[in-house]
Amino acid sequence: MATFLLKTGINVLHRHHNHLAFFSSGASPRSNVPISQKRRSRSFPIVSMAATPVQTFLEKSAPSTQNTGLPVMVNACTGKMGKAVINAAEAAGLHVVPVSFGCEEESGQTFEICGKEFLVHGPSDRESVLASVLDKYPNLIVVDYTVPTAVNGNAELYSKVGVPFVMGTTGGDRDLLYKTVQDSKNYAVISPQMGKQVVAFLAAMEIMAEQFPGAFSGYSLQVLESHQASKADASGTAKAVISCFNKLGVSFDMDEIQLVRDPQQQLEMVGVPEEHLAGHAFHMYHLTSPDQTLKQRIPKEYTI
């Protein structure tokens, strides 16, 4: 038997031979989009010449002359990851645009995050809002940590207008997501996991799965993953690891993942420290040999 424990972090950009690699559940780094030196031209929806509420808000919150960092728009700024990215971007000297996509209930509201006021817009305003922000900040990059149901719609919008984006949100139709980006020739980083150590582990799993397909045929797998109660979907990292085990010959369906979202279970069953209940990632991958013993037997047919 073998047990793997995996904890997650954030932030990776992988480049290889002038290609930007896409990592996601069930996809290997071979899905690439070339990087060119020139940014592709963008087409924007036609908007009125009168100042919109977004433009007015952006004018009021324009960066000081000292802040000349790259403009970044963080969508779902009120979420845990959104707040963390805003804090990291500010610390890195980037200019975080004080406008964000959010849920319909948050539309039109302002929220103070990291000492700055952010105006949040609902799904129905996305296209006009993004056009206004791009008009003000042509070099904009979007970071998306929204919800699984918004993944494909948001990616289609970003690709339509040609804004580079980082898709940290898991879920959605991942194959459609890749196709949307590749067809548009837009720049994007797509990953279920942004921690460089975990990305390295996933890359190693991909290499092993490609070079030794079927090596774990007959083995059974149990997967338990614990995340904060607010995480609605199964972990994209877990799905990526399971995809590798599938290639290695292990039969396991994604709906067999044991999701732990109850704080009491996380404390008692998983062993998550109480101070990390509001934000953690704990994974266990338990492989059992066909004969269900700890001893690894080498049959004579393997020798042949």
Check if 116 is active-site.
Answer: no
| Marked catalytic residue, from 227, 239, 247, 283 | 227
| Marked catalytic residue, from 19, 80, 83, 231 | 231
Answer yes or no: are the C-beta atoms of 257 and 242 closer than 8 Å. yes
Check if 38 is active-site.
Answer: no
Catalytically annotated residues: 227, 231
